Amino acid sequence: MLVAWLFSAAFLFSFFSCFLIRKLLILYHVYDMPKGNRWHKTPIPKFGGVGIYSATLFAFLLFFALHKDWHDFPTGLISGVFLVFLLGVVDDIKPISPVAKLIGQILAASVVIYQGYTTLFFTPRLGNNIVAQLPNILLTFIWLVGITNAINLLDNMDGLAGGISLIASGFLGYLFWKNQDGILLAFSISLSGALVGFLIWNFPPARLFMGDSGSQFIGFTLALLAIARQPQASNIFAVMGVPTLLFLLPILDTTFVTITRLLRGQSPAKGGRDHTSHRLIAFGLNERQVLLVLYLIAVICGISAMVLESLDYDLSLVLIPVIIIILLILTAYLAGLRISEGKASNQFSVLPAWILEFAFRRNLLEVFFDFLMITAAFYLAIFARKFAVNLSDFQYFLKTLPLTLISSYISFYLVGIYRDLWRYLGIESIFNYGKAAVLSAVLLGVLVRLSRPIIDLPVSTFLLFGVFLFFGLIVTRYSFRALDTFSAQQRSNEFEKVLIYGSENNIDFVIQYLLEHPEHKLKTFGIISDENYKVNKTVHGVRILGSIENLALIQDSDSVSGVIVAPQVEEKPTPELLIDFCKQNHWWIRKISINLEEIIQ
């Protein structure tokens, strides 16, 4: 009941304070003006962070007023949060330099660390002494400053930073309720209510921005709450693993933006329209769909954190690598989308050359993907035998993992897995992946048998490993083609519908060409073929509607804009019947030509 009262108080205070702030800013013409590197296109009032902070503090103070137990009031937490909020307000009034902002964040982090808020990640290994405290303090500084800036960078689209923060705050509240930590539960619930009140004004189309006063306050507060919790799990990885999973989306977005800007020779500290959210827009989603996708990812990451916290290691050791692989694949795909990237700076011009040479030519990203995939496939093979992993099984897993990686990487190299470009894979690659999976399983079996009596695994484990590895290769490698197809479908509402005329052998090229070149804004509606016996068959999901003679029978032909004539092996004139039909229906007709021209004879 108290939780509901606190949430309601924070929500109402936030909603009405944001309403008043917005009215006041409009009255005095105080707006966040559109800029080339910002997403919004119209002037929008900001300082919504003032309403969020005020509502959170009001509800939290109300909690102590009702309990009349002020001796437990977390002065250090409130002081550090206030310093970051004040820093954000100053930055909203008059932008300060990144260095000054970083110094202010470090000062705020110093205040809360002085009050005893530090992670205990190194304590189980090194003991509660100065040897453990020094790395704990250093990790706490990195965590607080890093998450604060990650949420700040995530505030790049209406409703995004507020919604993701609300999800993280909700999961943290659940952990505090589970651990019976009433004070931190009250603070997280107060923050959640304040965020809901603000999101009413910030959900697209936004009528109020939170500004740095909101994003920095929220980021610092959530980061502090995440390490202030006392984990029930005895596993050392749960100490930082749970917070990392809760903030995995902003962490990946910040890392992604930093790396891609450095590769383009741009400063990571400057704003831009190259975040994950903006690339999802280029992918074909609208703003609300982008929010729903990113909210869903945040919820999945939160559920994974709860699984890890609940000591369900069997499931978490499968779930977490799979989630990370999926997010990394999505990130790698989005990095390849064409967006407005702005002007490059010479400040970092030395970086792209050696990074691109080293990373892409050496297939480092694919090797890293495969490390996670091979590990997950082998763990699944052990897990699937009994749908559980006991201590003995886990020891076998750890002992055999190096042999698994050796056998898989050798097999991948011998089969030529790393010669493929993911976006342009053909059906023939599936056969290669099957060979790689079989060779990996056989080679692993040989290595394990040679290592006896140190390691002993049943034959079924190797068979399952080969199966899971094969499906892992298929899913990871063909993910880009699947995402290309889905992206084209998402953007198809804006595209003209066209028919393709040609034979089965050459229309395949046209369909692929249109999918890979969305700038033409053309979508294949159907196929016209003179091979009547193939009517109603499909090529890449596109149906063969019939021949030129029965064009008039095609249903929904009113929505078609034109016809593309596929390239011919032997040059043939376009049928007059097709040209006449296009003229009658006011369709355009175009032809794709491919020619071989001699350059040197």
Q: What is the DSSP string of 116-181?
A: T----SSHHHH-SSHHHHHHHHHHHHHHHHHHHHHHHHH-SSTTHHHHHHHHHHHHHHHHHHHTT-
- Sheet with 542-546, strands from edge to edge, namely 538-539, 542-546, 522-528, 496-501, 560-565, 588-591
Q: Please state, in angstroms and rounded to a whole number, the distance separating the CA atoms of residues 260 and 275.
A: 10
Cβ atoms of 385 and 460 within 8 Å: the answer is: yes
Does 287 map to a domain?
A: yes
Q: What is the model's pLDDT at position 358?
A: 46
Does 72 map to a domain?
A: yes
The last residue of one of the domains, among 357, 389, 422, is: 357
What residue type is assigned to position 357 of the chain? E
pLDDT beneath 50, residues of the chain: 233-234, 342-352, 354-356, 358-361
Q: What is the model's pLDDT at position 345?
A: 45
Same domain, 171 and 257: yes
Q: Please state, in angstroms and rounded to a whole number, the distance separating the CA atoms of residues 427 and 255.
A: 34
Does 239 map to a domain?
A: yes
Closest CA to 554 of 575, 541, 567, 536: 536
Same domain, 250 and 397: no
| DSSP tag of 539 | E
CATH number of the structural domain spanning residue 549: 3.40.50.720
| Four-CA torsion 337, 338, 342, 348, nearest 10 degrees | 50
Per-residue pLDDT reduced to its tens digit, 359-411: 444 567 788 889 989 998 998 898 888 777 777 777 888 889 999 999 999 99
Per-residue pLDDT reduced to its tens digit, 214-272: 999 999 999 999 988 766 544 555 667 788 889 989 998 888 888 777 766 676 766 66
Same domain, 254 and 279: yes
Same domain, 534 and 462: no
Same domain, 169 and 298: yes
Same domain, 45 and 154: yes
**Tokens standing for residue 414:** 């011998």
- Which residue range is the domain that position 389 belongs to? 379-482
Residue found under tokens 């795909």: 333
Looking at the 3D structure of the chain, how many domains does it have?
Answer: 3
Does 111 map to a domain?
A: yes
Q: With H, G, I as helix, E, B as strand and everything else as coil, classify residue 249.
A: helix
| Four-CA torsion 22, 47, 64, 179, nearest 10 degrees | 120
**Cβ-Cβ contacts under 8 Å for 431 (sequence gap 6 or more):** none
Q: What is the model's pLDDT at position 68?
A: 67
Does 373 map to a domain?
A: no
| DSSP tag of 94 | S
Does 67 map to a domain?
A: yes
Does 120 map to a domain?
A: yes
The last residue of one of the domains, among 414, 448, 482, is: 482
Same domain, 248 and 278: yes
Same domain, 427 and 335: no
Same domain, 496 and 468: no
- For the whole model, what pTM was predicted? 0.80
Q: What is the model's pLDDT at position 548?
A: 81
Same domain, 451 and 401: yes
Same domain, 79 and 169: yes
- Rounded to 5 degrees, what angle do the CA atoms 90, 91, 94 make? 85
Same domain, 141 and 218: yes
The last residue of one of the domains, among 327, 357, 387, is: 357
Does 303 map to a domain?
A: yes
